[in-house]
Amino acid sequence: MGIPLIGDKVPQFEAQTTMGAINFPEDYRGKWIVLFSHPADFTPVCTSEFVAFAKRYEKFKELNTELIGLSIDQVFSHIKWTEWIKDKLGVEIPFPIIADNTGKVAGMFGMLHPEAAGSQTVRAVFVVDPEGIVRAIMYYPLSIGRNMDEILRLLKALQTSDREKVALPAGWPENELIGDRAIVPPATSEKEAKERLEAARRKELECYDWWFCHRKL
């Protein structure tokens, strides 16, 4: 099956998790969501990822964001694995993990690994906004763990862009050219292009040219 694209409504589903049944995305209305899949329970890379997500859970909460994990393992496997992580590593997993043992949800999101004959999910990340719209999608290979700080940065950038009506540069807020400043949307007419340069002369904006202007947030 195909995957929802950026800008699409996120697929709806009901599922069993380690914290009970959920109706997605209805149960998370008004919140941002990071829905992420992992290949399998009781595997080293996945364990390192879940510990990393758990250690940053409060940072996600501060961004009005809920985490939801998923693999096609049974719910009892998820529960036993999270117990192992708590007992052996001293980290409690504070977010639900979907037990998608039929592969139904993974199929909706294109998460099933083609080389694993449907027996594993890829490392996918879907960022969904409070309106239920897919805003970002990331995929990683089986052998490489994700960078949770980058996912946090992405969330902060999306929320800032929405709030301020701006674009944000590479590596924001530590961009090599403009630091933590925001990029003003490009001019859409000759008149607006001239107005941008005039605004730069008045020190209202800083511009490299009319098509590359930036401002403080």
In degrees, rounded to 5, the angle at the alpha carbon of residue 94 between the alpha carbons of residues 30 and 40 is 105
Structure tokens at 172: 């924001």
Cα dihedral across residues 5, 9, 15, 21: positive or negative: positive
Residue 131 to residue 70: CA distance in whole angstroms: 21
Q: Which of 35, 46, 67, 182 is catalytic?
A: 46
213 catalytic? Reply is no
Residues annotated as part of the active site: 46
